[in-house]
């Protein structure tokens, strides 16, 4: 499973870099403002999968989702107060984007990747 998660994280990084080159103005604006706010929680969720054997409470998708969302929301709240964590500009829409990223990760984990990760174990 660790190899599958490492590959997933590398693929997400490649997508992030390559998608920044898109010349379509609307997609470019979305990428610049919100793409990282979706993909970072998605990646964090799967990083927690790497340590769930050592921390059994993390086996629940719901616990992982809540922890990741709270971490990202804390980062955004700190930005509001001028303390920079993960980014430097406060945007209240980022909270929704973090939620989207966490929900997509949980859905992917429970539906799509369940079969893939069982193959790697």
DSSP string, 7-57: HHHHHHHHHHHHHTT---HHHHHHIIIIIHHHHHHHHHHHHHHTTTTTSGG
The distance of Cα 16 from the centroid of its chain, to the nearest Å, equals: 12
CA distance 57 to 63: 7
Q: What percentage of the chain reaches a pLDDT higher than 90?
A: 51
Q: What is the mean pLDDT of the chain?
A: 86
pLDDT (tens digit per residue) in 34-87: 888 999 999 999 999 889 889 999 999 999 999 999 999 999 999 999 998 878
Mean local confidence (pLDDT), 83-105: 92
- The whole-model pTM stands at 0.80
Count helices and strands (H / E) in the chain. 6, 0
CA distance 105 to 48: 11
Q: Which residues of 90-110 are buried (b: 16+ CB within 10 A; e: fewer)?
A: eeeebeebbbebbbebbebbe
Pick from 16, 3, 17, 18: which is nearest to 42 by CA? 16
For residue 3 the two structure tokens come to 């190899």
């Amino acid at each position: 499973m660790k190899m599958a998660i490492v590959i997933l994280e590398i693929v997400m990084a490649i997508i992030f870099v390559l998608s920044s080159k898109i010349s379509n103005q609307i997609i470019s604006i979305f990428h610049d403002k919100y793409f990282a706010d979706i993909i970072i929680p998605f990646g964090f969720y799967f990083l927690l999968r790497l340590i769930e054997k050592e921390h059994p409470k993390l086996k629940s998708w719901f616990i992982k989702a809540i922890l990741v969302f709270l971490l990202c929301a804390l980062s955004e709240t700190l930005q509001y107060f001028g303390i920079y964590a993960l980014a430097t500009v406060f945007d209240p829409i980022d909270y929704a984007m973090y939620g989207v990223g966490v929900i997509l990760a949980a859905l992917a984990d429970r539906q799509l990747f369940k079969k893939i990760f069982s193959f790697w174990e």
